[in-house]
Structure 1
Amino acid sequence: MAYEVEPPKYLRLAQTLQRRIEDGTYAPGVRVPSENQLVQTFGMSRPTVVRALELLKRDGWLESRQGYGTIVRGHPTAAEDQDRRGQQALSRDESRAPGRLVEVGYVPVPKRVASVLGLPKRAKVLMRRFLVEDEGEPFELVSSYFPAGMVEGTDLESTEALSGSTREHLEARRKVRFDHVQERISARLPGPAEGELLDVPDGVPVLSVLVVACDASGQALQVSEVLLPADRQELEDSYRLS
């Protein structure tokens, strides 16, 4: 059974344009096609094209110059250095990361995860839960969920910490390739077990970052929820103003 989540059209267009920048089709300093040209070339609506261009500007691939249009800035080193929770969750080496593996097993799929994977409410998925600690203090709780089709032939069911990241493990064992991530940030109250692990007092919310990791076709390979105690977190970002 295939578990697919279709990337938004604007994201697919942004990825296509980014690949063209990376392969030199659009060289640094060159003006990219106009919005009208992109609408006609890709058969997408103007709002979709505008959103894709804004995403690439935000990440440093493009910039607007008055009277000239949108030009290529080149490969943005800043984009690679941004603090992205999803990337950290996917690349964390369980055997070396500060923290501990606290739970491994099959659980009823959470509602938000079920909607991403297209699973029925009563389905079960494999969960690996890792508590990240900073000098012995709980910092974040990462619960990673894997469709049954991704588990076969792997060591994901092992209660021992993996040597390497789950991404590396899946790419090696399942011969898949991670392509892009979607992150959804919200706030909620933690469950009893979550609150105890994070040492969060009753009534204190947590920030939830839902990380959907997909291959190039949009199939979800792994879904992780990163929980951060709201009273110990400060989110910060910096970006250029056009």
Structure 2
Amino acid sequence: MAYEVEPPKYVRLAQTIQRRIEDGTYPPGTRVPSENQLVQAFGMSRPTVVRALELLKRDGWLESRQGFGTIVRGRPEVVEQQDRRGREALERDESQASGRLVEVGEAPVPVRIASALGLPGRATVLVRRFLLEEDGEAVELVSSYFPAGLVEGTQLASLEVLSGSVREHLEARKKVRFDHVTERISARLPEASEAELLGMPDGVPVLSVLVVACDASGQALQVSDVLLPADRQELEDTYRLN
């Protein structure tokens, strides 16, 4: 299975504009070139330009001001400071983390994981399950699922903890590049094995953060189900208003 692909045009354009913001070509507080100017400058279609600008607005690099057009905000500091479960799951060094690897093995892919990975319902995936602990108490259970084609030639199937993060390991061994993450948060009752690992009493729900990590083409490389005991969690986010 091929994973090394060129990012979509709108992503490449957004990255170019980001670099120009960072190098001072488009200073904070100034207007970015108009859509027409960007179309002419980069030889891209208007829909591509519009999509790139919307991506930059969503991520906090730009903002629309009535009567002024699209204004440069600069590097989005608040976004960088946010606590992201997905990034933690991808970049956690297992050998240094406070916890233990509780399960590694092949298993039938759960329905919602299959959908996220783009796999048929009867496919088999590798599951790697890590339990995080603080002061002897279980605080988070991370179940990571990998398509079979991505596991070959890696140490993901090993019962030993990784020296470094899953992201570093896959990018080095498989020459793939993680580009973006989508997080979906829901609440549910844990399965019996999950409740036991987390030390939870009957009837207490968990928060499930489904982390879908993709390359630039949108192909999912890894899906992690991060379970947090709902009675021990408080989620907080800080963001700007346009």
Q: TM-score range with shorter-chain normalisation?
A: 0.7 to 0.9
Residues 184 and 51 (structure 1), Cα distance of their counterparts in 2 relative to 1, 3 Å cut: farther
Q: Once the two structures are superposed, what CA deviation does each residue of 1:35-82 show, in whole Å capped at 9, x if it has no partner?
A: 788899442698x688645513xxx31234453222111122332221
Residue number in structure 2 paired with 1:221: 221
1:22 corresponds in structure 2 to: 19
Q: Equivalent residue for 1:206? A: 206
Which TM-score applies when normalising by structure 1?
0.84
Identity %: 69
Aligned counterparts of 1:103 and 1:137: Cα–Cα separation in 2: 18
Bigger mean CA deviation after superposition, 150-159 or 15-24: 15-24
Contact 1:150 1:221 in 2 (8 A): yes
Aligned to 1:168: 168
User: What's the CA shift for 1:124?
Assistant: 0.9
Question: Deviation per CA, 1:2-40, whole angstroms, max 9, x where unpaired?
Answer: 68xxx9x9xx84774254122446443332355788899
- Residue 241 of structure 1 and its aligned partner are, at CA, apart by 2.5
Q: Distance in 1 between matches of 2:71 and 2:173?
A: 41
Q: How does 1:104-119 map to 2 (within 5 A)?
A: 104-119=104-119
Cα distance change of structure 1 residues 193 and 51 upon mapping to structure 2, 3 Å threshold: farther
Amino acid at match of 2:175: K
> Contact 2:188–2:207 (CA<8 Å) still a contact in 1?
yes
TM-score, normalised to structure 2's length? Answer: 0.84
Unaligned runs of 5+ in 2: none
Distance 1:45 1:231, change over 3 A: farther
**Corresponding letter in the other structure for 1:55:** R
* Contact 1:21–1:72 (8 Å) recurs in 2: no
148-157 or 216-225, which moves further after superposition?
Answer: 216-225
Q: What does residue range 48-87 of structure 1 map to in structure 2 within 5 Å?
A: 52=55, 54-56=57-59, 60-87=60-87
SS in 2 for 1:43: helix
Q: Could you list the runs of 5+ residues in structure 1 that have no partner in the other structure? A: none
Report the 3-state secondary structure (helix = DSSP H, G, I; strand = E; otherwise coil) of the residue aligned with 2:210: strand
Runs of 4+ deviating beyond 6 Å: 35-40
- Contact preservation (8 Å) 1:143, 1:226: yes
Q: How far 1:148 moved relative to its partner?
A: 0.6
Summarize deviations over 1:66-107 as a string: whole Å, max 9, x none.
532221111223322210000000000001101110000001
